[in-house]
Copies of this chain bind each other. A is one copy, B any other.
Amino acid sequence: MPDVGASKALDPLLCFAVYSLERRIGRLYADLLAPWRLSYTQYLVVEMLGANHGEPLTVGELGRLLDLDSGTLSPLVKRLEARGVVRRERSRDDERVVTVALTAAGDDLHGELGEVQRCLAERLPPDRAAAGDLLARLREANDYLALHADA
């Protein structure tokens, strides 16, 4: 007979575990990224642009890829532009759209950031099977919530 009470009590613990782990990983990335004075979110944007082979992405595309809204991305991209990492340009096809691309300096930066991934691998648990499992479960939960929970 399943213990429904204890089973439901699992959910808050699960949420708290995700919350706690996210902050631990955030502190880890903050540490790894400190030499480049990048936040984790800024790093994600640079990686996304770098992975796009020099092609620009629009603010909206970045938002969909990272699940972030313009309230977060707009000032973040502006700060990256102010540092010369990124170039912002209004699209000529559609004046509403702003395209974002790495500058030459931004491309160099992206190259250097390969270092970060290696350092990350040294600091995370080495059990690849467990990591694969965890990733699969996280994506399950994420996909479930994307479909069922929020707007």
Take A31-B150, A145-B24 as given contacts and tell me if A137 and B130 are in contact as well, using a CB distance cutoff of 8 Å: yes
A65 to chain B, nearest CB (A): 10
Interface pair A11/B120, CB less than 8 Å apart:
yes
The answer to whether the Cβ of A17 comes within 8 Å of any Cβ in the partner chain is yes
Copies in the complex: 2
Interface size on A, residues (CB 8 A): 55
The answer to whether the Cβ of A14 comes within 8 Å of any Cβ in the partner chain is yes
Take A123-B149, A134-B138 as given contacts and tell me if A117 and B13 are in contact as well, using a CB distance cutoff of 8 Å: no
Interface pair B138/A18, CB less than 8 Å apart:
yes
Partner of A130 from the list B23, B120, B140 (CB cut-off 8 Å) is B140
A15 and B25 CA atoms in complex are apart in Å by 7
